[in-house]
Structure 1
Amino acid sequence: MPIKIPDQLPAANILRQENIFVMPESRAESQNIRPLKVLLLNLMPKKIETETQFMRLLSNSPLQVDVELLRIDNRPSKNTPTEHLDTFYRQFESVSNRNFDGLIVTGAPLGLVQFEDVIYWEHFESIMQWASKHVTSTLYVCWAAQAGLKLLYDLPKRTRKEKLSGVYWHETNPEHNHNPLVRGFDDSFLAPHSRYADFAPDFLREYTDLDILATSGDAGTYLAATKDKRNVFVTGHPEYDSHTLHHEYTRDVTEGADPAVPLNYYPGNDPSKEPYVSWRSHGHMLFANWLNYCVYQLTPFDLDHFSEDAFTVDE
């Protein structure tokens, strides 16, 4: 089934060229189907690139998904045209009186910034408080996972000495093999990371009641969720395109940051060679599982009758 997005959104043409079914708004309105309403809070600087990446993953499902884009504030963007933001993005105030089936919160380049120093931290906190009462399931990605753990569990910011960058092996947790979020996963799988945040599994087990679903000896916790599946934390970037890590690496080189070469990304770890994708199938499966088991299977048919009491805890 398709995703429903504005006809003129740049992502629409890109996805059509990849033979992904994108439904025009006019056709969607004629169908007697209640699509899933998913809000994407895009915190990344290059918003067009990021929105396309996430929509690509949301499209790989038999469910019809109506995606709306949300911005954190109205500050001018250095990397996204103002016309694009004004045309396709909503301010929080315009959606705050509505309910949504799902919310995705992207990463942000704030790994070395303390939460209280994030310019929009108070507004971010208010959006997350709203989501707890108006959204069936929220998916936090990378920096958002760290921020979500702070808001839900008051966990302090934990930062690695060196940036974690590359593609790492992960293992699913045998204790939670029947959790629907990892249904269909291989015992070991690859996923990209690009972060300073530290998500040590033992630390999360000690200070939260999260189900730790997948971990890495090098990258720490990768996937965790509350038992009711209403909050899902992904510490890596399954949405990344084949060249996203490359662009980040070359940017840092140009800026004189002397970054380490992203691990397990270039053939022979040689940046002069074309990188290859080894995480695409896992990324699609993760998002399909989240849409199906954490959103579609739990959300009320009538969003106007959204109730926190309607959710059950099971595996």
Structure 2
Amino acid sequence: MPIKIPDLLPAKNKLQEENIFVMDESRAFTQDIRPLKILILNLMPLKQQTETHLLRILGNSPLQIDVGLLHTSTHVSKNTPAEHLEQFYKSITDVKANKYDGLIITGAPIEKLAYEDVNYWSELSEIMEWSKTNVTSTLHICWGAMAGLYYHYGIDKYLMDEKLSGIFTHTLSDPREKLLSGFDEEFVVPHSREADIKKTDIEKEPRLKILSESEEAGIYLVASTDGKQIFVTGHPEYDAFTLQKEFDRDTAAGLNPIIPVNYYPNDDPTQTPRLRWRTHSNMLISNWLNYYVYQETPYQLD
């Protein structure tokens, strides 16, 4: 089934070129079906790139999805045209009275900042509090996962000695968990972050359960026992070249970054990286949409 997106959203053409089933608003109006209403809080600097990443894996679901885009009004984006934000994005003030089947909170490259020093922390806290009553299930990604664990459960992050960047192997902690349905016993996921959460802190919280982890990358998937909060510390939404773009950016900035682990063939940055995590990414999002959103949400959201 397709994802329903605004007629003129730039990501539409890119997704159609990749044979992703998208449906613009005009066509969707002719169908008598209640799609899942999914809101994306996009905190990433390159918002248009992140839109494409997330819409790509949402579009692989067998469910019809009506996607809305949200941004924080207390932070002025320097990397996304104001016209794009004005045309396609809303703020929490615009949607506060609405109900949604699901919410996705993206990452942001601000792991080194204390949460309270983030200039939109107050607004983000308002959104996360609002989600408790207005959203069936929320999926938090990377820094968004750390922020969610801190806000909802008081679990803090810890800065790492060096940036974690690369493709890492993960295993399942509880294969019976619905979010992991259909997963291989081992699978790979991209990570790109400078902070981490401690397993011992998660284990102390009875309302949380660890679903997947990696010997090299640490905790990967955490879920609340009621399924309303899902935390993903990696970046399953990344495409084949996202880590390369980050590596090239940091190299050009003179940061002397490490070569992303297990990313380039033979760890040679002159070679073309291969996409090895798409199946897992699609399965993760499909399972979340089916078991934690579709199976739990009321037919009449209001």
Same-fold call, TM > 0.5?
yes
The one-letter code of the counterpart of 1:145 is A
Q: Sequence identity, in percent? A: 52
Distance across 2 between alignment mates of 1:29 and 1:201: 47
Q: How big is the shift at 1:279?
A: 0.7
- For residue 268 of structure 1, the aligned residue among 261, 266, 269 is 266
Aligned to 1:86: 86
SS of 2:37's equivalent in the other structure is: strand
Q: How big is the shift at 1:208?
A: 4.8
Q: Could you list the runs of 5+ residues in structure 1 that have no partner in the other structure?
A: 305-315
Indicate the larger mover: 89-98 or 207-216: 207-216
Aligned to 2:49: 49
Q: How big is the shift at 1:75?
A: 4.2
Aligned to 2:119: 119
Matches within 5 A, 1:191-270: 191-270=189-268
Aligned to 2:291: 293
Distance across 2 between alignment mates of 1:177 and 1:157: 26
SS of 1:303's equivalent in the other structure is: coil
Distance across 2 between alignment mates of 1:44 and 1:298: 29
Aligned to 2:107: 107
Aligned to 1:183: 181
8 A contact 2:202–2:209 mirrored in 1? no
- For residue 277 of structure 1, the aligned residue among 270, 275, 283 is 275
Distance across 1 between alignment mates of 2:155 and 2:220: 17
Aligned to 1:37: 37
What is the total number of aligned residue pairs between the two structures?
302
8 A contact 1:153–1:208 mirrored in 2? no
Aligned to 1:308: none
SS of 1:113's equivalent in the other structure is: coil
Distance across 2 between alignment mates of 1:186 and 1:301: 32
Q: How big is the shift at 1:200?
A: 2.9
- Residue 10 in structure 1 maps to residue 10 in structure 2: yes
8 A contact 2:3–2:23 mirrored in 1? yes
Summarize the Cα distance change of 1:129–1:251 in structure 2 as closer, same or farther, 3 Å threshold.
Answer: same
8 A contact 2:155–2:201 mirrored in 1? no
Distance across 2 between alignment mates of 1:218 and 1:201: 13
8 A contact 1:45–1:79 mirrored in 2? yes
Distance across 2 between alignment mates of 1:38 and 1:155: 26
Write out per-residue CA displacement over residues 201-238 of structure 1, whole angstroms, 9 at most, x where no aligned residue: 23311245311110001111101101111100000000
Aligned to 1:161: 161
SS of 2:204's equivalent in the other structure is: helix
Distance across 2 between alignment mates of 1:208 and 1:69: 33
The one-letter code of the counterpart of 1:114 is A
Aligned to 2:21: 21
SS of 1:13's equivalent in the other structure is: helix
Distance across 2 between alignment mates of 1:24 and 1:133: 29
8 A contact 2:42–2:105 mirrored in 1? yes
The one-letter code of the counterpart of 1:84 is H
Write out per-residue CA displacement over residues 223-260 of structure 1, whole angstroms, 9 at most, x where no aligned residue: 11011111000000000011100010111111111111
Distance across 1 between alignment mates of 2:206 and 2:8: 43
The one-letter code of the counterpart of 2:277 is W
SS of 1:68's equivalent in the other structure is: strand
Q: How big is the shift at 1:177?
A: 1.3
Distance across 1 between alignment mates of 2:124 and 2:238: 23
- Residue 302 in structure 1 maps to residue 287 in structure 2: no
SS of 1:258's equivalent in the other structure is: coil
Q: How big is the shift at 1:158?
A: 1.5
Write out per-residue CA displacement over residues 117-148 of structure 1, whole angstroms, 9 at most, x where no aligned residue: 10000110011000001000000000010000
Q: How big is the shift at 1:17?
A: 0.8
Q: How big is the shift at 1:289?
A: 0.4
For normalisation by structure 1, the TM-score amounts to: 0.94
8 A contact 1:114–1:157 mirrored in 2? no
Q: How big is the shift at 1:187?
A: 0.5
Q: How big is the shift at 1:303?
A: 0.4
Q: Could you list the runs of 5+ residues in structure 2 that have no partner in the other structure?
A: none
Distance across 2 between alignment mates of 1:92 and 1:161: 36
Aligned to 2:95: 95
The one-letter code of the counterpart of 2:231 is F
Write out per-residue CA displacement over residues 26-78 of structure 1, whole angstroms, 9 at most, x where no aligned residue: 22112111000000000000000001100000011110000000011164422
8 A contact 1:101–1:296 mirrored in 2? yes
The one-letter code of the counterpart of 1:251 is R
Distance across 2 between alignment mates of 1:58 and 1:111: 26
Q: How big is the shift at 1:108?
A: 0.3
